[in-house]
Amino acid sequence: MKLAIVNLGCPKNQVDLETIIGGLRDQVELVDGFDQADAVIVNTCAFIDPAKKESIDAVFDVVAAKRENNSLKLVVTGCLPQRYKELAELLPEVDYFSYSNRTDNIVDDVLQYFNFEPASSLRHLLNPRHYAYLRLAEGCNNRCTYCAIPLIKGDYSSRPLNEILKEAKQLADSGVKELILIAQDTTYYGRDLTVNINLAHVLEELNRIDPIQWIRLLYTHPAHWNNALVEAVNRYDKIVPYIDMPIQHISNPVLKRMGRRVRRHDIEKLIKTFRRRIPDVALRTSIICGFPGETDQDHAELMAFLSEIKFEKLGVFTYSHEEGTPSFQWDDDVPDELKRDRQQEIINQQEDIAHERSQSLIGKQLKVIIDECNRDTHVALARSVWEAPEIDGNIYIHEPVIEGEFYSVSITDADFYDLSAKVIQ
């Protein structure tokens, strides 16, 4: 069977699709265009309104292709059907929806629909073969008032450690050199298990897998860091000095309404701990602008805090009023134009911070991994320990190098978010 795919959403969604394709291994041939395909899987996102619109548009693109090819099968997976069970009535053109919100069940659903036997437990990576996302858990127990994830994925469910390690070793044996740890909240790992185990234990065990050289930690929550975890990040040599910790805001009234379980003092104390105990650490965070009740004073406090802390990486989003969440009961009282203005103010300020940091790296020597090579132009995209794939900037190298290999480089130029470098070794 010839299969085309459309993959939308976050890395957690990507892992689901990679697992599905792995389960279909040897029974399908992946093709690029709908016109070449016997079936299309659209893996959707439904976290906020723009993501839902993108997912629905992608489904209708395939529906249009079905008008030209009546035998084309359309399967929809991911967050959209998990959140909206009524889709089958609204979109009769879709041949099959997978409503399951757990990876194994989604894979079983799709295999049964195509009447295929499971072919493999190995994932089919959709990114370069030298890095892979490793899911530690599914679901979430945090219940932030703006977030629809519990509606979609349910309660937090940690994967057994032996299952995580088995997959990590399989990935390492297949050539993966960098593991990127993901979950809705990686720092919550193990709290739902009967055995006494936590994220620090996971890092200790993963650090022992020899072919793996870098281990990166995403989606941490400031409420769930502790001394043992900070020490693990500092102690184990393969854990890169990069921490992704969305704070969402810094004003205490806003944090309280968001249900974030921390206050400004907790966040400041944690950031000081990171920078004191983890040498050369890069901190990435995310901010929400225009949460219900956010005042000019709240925004000014946030701007001043970000100016003082100078996060190395930062993403900023406008609040999305999502049905079913606790905050949906409140007035969405910050006008959209004001949300966007506040977002742009933060972006402009962060550009200055990022430019200052980038300029300070000129002349520095860094270890990088090559993500992509253009054999015609000899322009390569690389990353250091301070960049996660796709969400952070690139390091450009204008000379022949090999994809998936590590190099020592010297930084020669910089703009706001991207760097240029020459190979030393």
Per-residue pLDDT of the chain (425 residues; tens, 9 = 90+): 999 999 998 999 999 999 999 888 888 899 999 999 999 999 999 988 999 999 999 999 999 999 989 899 999 999 999 899 888 888 999 999 998 877 878 888 888 899 887 766 788 999 999 999 999 999 999 999 999 999 999 999 999 999 999 999 999 999 999 999 999 999 999 999 988 999 999 999 999 999 999 999 999 999 999 999 999 999 999 999 999 999 999 999 999 999 999 999 999 999 999 999 999 999 999 999 999 999 999 999 999 999 999 999 999 999 999 999 999 999 999 999 999 999 999 999 999 999 999 999 999 999 999 999 988 888 999 999 999 999 999 999 999 999 999 999 999 999 989 999 999 97
Which fold, 2-114?
Rossmann fold (3.40.50)
Which fold, 131-360?
pyruvate-formate lyase- activating enzyme (3.80.30)
Cβ-based burial of 424 (10 A; exposed 0-12, middle 13-18, buried ≥19): exposed
The answer to whether the 2-114 and 131-360 domains have the same CATH topology is: no
| H runs (alpha helix) in 92-224 | 103-114, 149-153, 161-173, 199-206
Give the right CATH number for 365-423 from 2.40.50.140, 2.170.150.20, 3.40.50.300, 3.30.470.20: 2.40.50.140
Q: State the Cα torsion 188-194-199-202 to the nearest 10°.
A: -150
Please state the length of the chain: 425
- What ranges do the domains of the chain cover? 2-114, 131-360, 365-423
Phi first, then psi: give them for residue 314, nearest 5 degrees: -155, 135
Q: How far apart are CA 182 and CA 131, in angstroms?
A: 13
Give the H or E element holding residue 95: none
Q: State the Cα torsion 40-43-48-52 to the nearest 10°.
A: 10
Q: What residue type is assigned to position 210 of the chain?
A: D
Cβ pair 78, 16 in contact under 8 A:
yes
